[in-house]
Amino acid sequence: MRRPGNWTVSSNLTSSAFARRSLGEVGIRQGLVGFGGQCPHEVRDNGVTMYYVYTLSCADKKPYTGCTDNLKERLERHEKGHVPATKNRRPVELLTYTAFKNKYRAFGFEKYLKTGSGGAFLKRHFLSTIRSDS
């Protein structure tokens, strides 16, 4: 199966193996998934706006998940205390982000990550990998 960014997914991978391999361990460059406190300046694909679902590590050791179309600006707003949900939880650090071309899929993924099973997915595939690298 062909995916954006010239990478291929083998059809014999289970969904969790796919998530571990492509999202948790390897990391997909080319604007699809990022790790480690770096954000794209403005990743655009042929003029298409990208929507980012991101997770921050807050001072209270709890993650914060949000969605935006301008990740760099949003991170600056978090750091300056302009976001009520993280204002008293600073400093914040970007742990991971995922880029989507479709706004509704991005918001759907954000909503999923805020559920119990989505939180478990986040811990299993993103947070445990990132914390073990530090």
Could you tell me the two tokens for 88?
Answer: 């008293």
What per-residue confidence (pLDDT) applies to 23? 41
pLDDT in tens, 88-133: 999 999 999 999 999 999 999 999 999 999 999 998 888 775 555 6
pLDDT of residue 113: 95
Burial (CB < 10 A; 0-12, 13-18, 19+), residue 38, is: exposed
Give the model's pLDDT for residue 128. 72
Mean pLDDT of 59-70: 95
Domain ranges (residues) in the chain? 28-133
Q: How confident is the model at residue 47 (pLDDT cuts 50, 70, 90)?
A: confident
Class assignment of domain 28-133?
A: alpha beta
Answer for the pair 58, 86: CB distance below 8 angstroms, yes or no.
yes
